[in-house]
Amino acid sequence: MSVREEFDEWAAEGRDRGMEERHWHTAKHALARMAIEEGDTVLDMGCGSGYAARAMREAGGAGQAYGLDGSPAMVRNASAYTDDANTGFLVGDFEHLPFESDSVDHVFSMEAFYYASDPMAALEEVRRILRPGGTFYCAVDFHADNPHTAEWTEYVDIEMTRWSRKEYRERFREAGFYVVEQDTIPDREVEIPPADEFPTEDWETREAMVEHFREHGTLLTVGVAP
């Protein structure tokens, strides 16, 4: 299945808002760390409902925010959730970002990067469009150091890249970034039931659920363009 087919279905079922609710638990902490300055141009890569682009404009003070997604239905939904003239959503592909070189101050991406069919090409594209000193805040829950994500590939019919923390750092450097931060942001908001309610539909044991959300949470890798 293509990214477009898979995520058009998700958008039609309203799952864009569900992802926003869940991902906001950790995405808001990553977004709060970004040094966005008034008037900056920012991009949310794989924007889904577009919450991060809206937040970078409203709370971050960006002058122009874009959200890019390969699913036209996601882009339609995201556009409908704002009437801000300086927040725009467009259909596009991570490997061919429709932006001039050296034209964007900061790029953010949450739970999307690993769907790139060619992740190195996607990283090089981000590097190309960033101005010198621009940053790429790449947040993922799905990575090789979190064993609880190994089976996710069974639920999504798209090729997914499962790099380790170390591989994220190495690949960022190969694409020309300086890696200035790598951190784990725990999800402290998801409700974890008491031990006697396990197994649940999604979790065999309480320990596994705690480890996944409270310990692994979201892996954030931050690259700076030279």
Ligand X SMILES: C[S@@+](CC[C@H](N)C(=O)[O-])C[C@H]1O[C@@H](n2cnc3c(N)ncnc32)[C@H](O)[C@@H]1O
Binding residues for ligand X, per CB under 6 A?
3, 7, 19-20, 23, 27, 46-48, 69-71, 74, 93-94, 110-112, 115-116
**Angle between helix 165-174 and helix 119-129 axes, rounded to 10 deg:** 50
Query: How far is Cα 145 from Cα 122, in angstroms, rounded to an integer?
Result: 22
Shortest Å distance, C-beta 87 to ligand X: 15
Residue (121 or 194) nearer to ligand X, CB: 121
- Report whether 87 contacts 47 (CB < 8 A): no
- Pairing status of strand 41-45 against strand 104-110: parallel
Query: How far is Cα 57 from Cα 44, in angstroms, rounded to an integer?
Result: 11
**Assigned token pair, 31:** 């977004």
Shortest Å distance, C-beta 166 to ligand X: 23
Residue (5 or 170) nearer to ligand X, CB: 5
**Angle between helix 51-58 and helix 15-32 axes, rounded to 10 deg:** 40
Residue (112 or 130) nearer to ligand X, CB: 112
Residue (4 or 206) nearer to ligand X, CB: 4
Shortest Å distance, C-beta 44 to ligand X: 7
Shortest Å distance, C-beta 156 to ligand X: 8
Residue (98 or 147) nearer to ligand X, CB: 98
Per the DSSP assignment, residues forming a β-bridge with 106 are: 42, 135
Shortest Å distance, C-beta 69 to ligand X: 5
